[in-house]
Amino acid sequence: MHPDLTLRIAGESGEGVITIGETLCQIAAREGLHIVTFRTFPAEIKGGACMIQVRLSEKNISYHGERVDFLVCLNQEALGENLPDLKDHGVLLCEAECDLPEELLGRTVYKVPFDRIATREIGSRISKNIVVLGTLSHILSLPKRQIEGFITEKFARKGKAVLDHNLDALQRGFDFAERNLGKKDPYKFPKGNEQKMLLMTGNQAIALGATASGMRYFFGYPITPASEIMEWLAVHLPKLGGIVLQTEDEISAICSVAGASWAGGRSMTSTSGPGLSLMSETIGLLSMAEIPAVIVDSQRGGPSTGMPTKTEQSDLFLALYGSHGDTTRVVMAPTSVPDCFRVTALAFDLAEKYQLPVIVLVDQALSARLETVEPRLVKRTPSASRLTAKLREDAPFTRYQLSESGVSPAALPGTVGGEHMVTGMEHDEKGNFACDEEMHTAMTVKRFRKLSAIEGDPLTHELCSYFGDKEAEIGIISWGSSAGPVEEAVSIAKNLGIPVQAIIPKILNPLPHQELKAFLGKVKRVIVPELNFVGQLASLLRSTYRIPTISLTKVKGVPLEPTEIVKKIVETAETLNVRSMKHYGRAG
């Protein structure tokens, strides 16, 4: 019995590779298994190599697995490309036509003429993926009835002929395996714990979290890999009385958000790096005019058009600093699909409570990742709201009152007696433009007081994940989707006898100083793994805490692998044996 199984299905885009993976996920989620997936997208609109990797486990997992136990290849090209990632004792299931390289001698390989079964026996080439599913269900002892049920759900609306075709394909794939393939490997579909899990992508969890938090106005412009958020909301938000509008560009999207939000509606947009670049002027406006907004950036390889379908964590600087002048904003970074729900929902509370823009950073790998979510984790209602003024007839309303917390009570347009100006110009308490030095200083300080208040707000507590040994001298600080590989690396290092501890802050502006300072006080070295070239988080940590960091960066368009992090841990452990160093906390 293998409590943990990593499969990869590889082929050409259009062969139904993703459907195979998603079907396995659906079945596993209903069985109560934990799932994390990773998929690659070709840059081509049609065709091109693609794959989906599915890791199934009885236990909670946070990473899709580095090398795979079970590899399915639908063509020669997929075999060549993916074979290096097959574990030494891993199993290959491939198209019978494929030539097997010598290195596979002595290993378990199942060859099945998927193409022939689909084209000759069934008469439909596109049903090949379902044949594969049938074969897999036999080899891995999948619950076949459930697969049939799932296929029926998926194809019933396409008519009886299509459905029968697919059920036939499933049966033929199964039968071929039963007749011709003796079980030669130890792998089996793990057993779930009966508690049904929800299955969704990071993008869907973001959309759902926003919806649960009361967001009803979405404006956006299509961009890979964020479009799915808008597409999902376009179908579902109107059911709740909300709206989704595709605007002419990202500037229009964020400006429409600004308008809708000023008028009182919880509003958002989602985009990727190029869109966030275009939005940066309006982020300054939101900061200056003190208007709530939530902006999701699903990062991809940059700069410019870069690698639109590949992952990267290289927009941190843009999220932290993009826009001119001293701008206030909150930057958050969820680490997993359930986290996407939680952090996005919280982003709205912070935006409303502190009347400023909140940027949520995810990346292509997390956006597209299918992962299981416990149903209890997607229940939420708004827990903070915008402070509104008690209007008095005898005193004029001051929209930008210089309050102690920095938060000034608002009056929503429409309110009797609350007429006021909001403006991108520096202004006095009433909102009239005022360019004198005292006012600019007083208002800037007031706006930044909100960031201090956020740091102390219980809403932002418990926004750090911790892994590993609390006494360890080697520390890791990382962010976003790199948390999964870090968690995995920490446990591999532990098995190697190297204690490591890690902290993953999910809020990057303002930084959780208390937690980070406490962490830095305990460790002697800090490794900062992240998916960009210059080490953007490492740079932020160095400038904020005046500490040396060991940057581990990668710009290959794919997530970090735990072994890459382990290598750095081992190197660091070696230097620690040579010379000792003062604790950061004391040195600072």
Partner 1 sequence: MEEQDRPCEYLSGVGPVWCPGCGYYGILSALAEAFADLRLPTNELALISGIGCSSRLPYFVKAYGFHSIHGRGLPIAQGVKTANPELTVVAVGGDGDGLAIGGGHLPHIARNNVDITYLLFNNAIYGMTKGQFSPTTVLFPITKTSPFGLTGESVNPSALAIVYGASFVARGFSVKKEHLKDLIIQGMQHRGFSFIEILASCSSFNTTDMNVARIIKNLQMVPEDHNPEDEIEALRLATDKEKINLGVLVRNPRPTLGDKFQEMQKKAKARAPEAKAQAAMEDLLAQFA
Which of 43, 96, 240, 534 is in the footprint of partner 1 by CB under 8 A?
Answer: 240
Phi, psi of 554 (to 5 degrees): -155, 130
For residue 83, state whether it binds partner 1 (rule: CB under 8 A). Answer: no
Nearer to partner 1, 252 or 272 (CB): 252
Which of 196, 440, 494, 522 is in the footprint of partner 1 by CB under 8 A?
Answer: 196
In angstroms, the CA 78 to CA 152 distance is 29
- Residues 280 to 299 in contact with partner 1, rule: CB under 8 A: 281-282, 284-285, 289
Nearer to partner 1, 281 or 457 (CB): 281
Which of 132, 212, 268, 439 is in the footprint of partner 1 by CB under 8 A?
Answer: 212
In angstroms, the CA 219 to CA 362 distance is 18
As measured in angstroms, the least distance from the Cβ of 452 to partner 1 is 27
Which of 255, 294, 368, 490 is in the footprint of partner 1 by CB under 8 A?
Answer: 255
Q: At what angle do helices 128-139 and 17-30 cross, to 10 degrees?
A: 40
As measured in angstroms, the least distance from the Cβ of 223 to partner 1 is 17
Dig out the tokens for 145 from the structure. Answer: 């009835």
Q: Tell me, what amino acid is at 251? A: I
Q: Which stretch binds partner 1 (CB under 8 A): 43-51, 126-134, 193-201, 358-366?
A: 193-201
For residue 378, state whether it binds partner 1 (rule: CB under 8 A). Answer: yes
Compose the 418-447 pattern: x for residues touching partner 1 by CB under 8 A, - for all others: xxxxxxxx-----xxx--------------
In angstroms, the CA 296 to CA 339 distance is 14
Distance of CA 168 to the CA centre of its chain: 37
CA-to-CA separations, 280 to 184, 264, 317, in angstroms, rounded: 57, 22, 12
In angstroms, the CA 134 to CA 176 distance is 9
Q: Tell me, what amino acid is at 376? A: R
Q: Which stretch binds partner 1 (CB under 8 A): 256-264, 470-478, 487-495, 569-577?
A: 256-264
As measured in angstroms, the least distance from the Cβ of 243 to partner 1 is 5
Residue with tokens 């520390």: 475
Nearer to partner 1, 288 or 361 (CB): 288
CB-based burial of residue 60 (10 Å sphere; 0-12 exposed, 13-18 middle, 19+ buried)? exposed
As measured in angstroms, the least distance from the Cβ of 416 to partner 1 is 5
As measured in angstroms, the least distance from the Cβ of 430 to partner 1 is 9
Phi, psi of 170 (to 5 degrees): -60, -45
**Which residues does 491 contact at the CB level (< 8 Å), separation at least 6?**
467, 468
Which of 375, 456, 521, 548 is in the footprint of partner 1 by CB under 8 A?
Answer: 375
In angstroms, the CA 453 to CA 171 distance is 62
Of how many residues is the chain composed? Answer: 588
Give the footprint of partner 1 on this chain (CB under 8 A): 29-30, 196, 198-200, 204, 208, 211-212, 217, 219, 235-243, 245, 247-249, 251-253, 255-265, 267, 281-282, 284-285, 289, 373, 375, 378, 412-425, 431-433
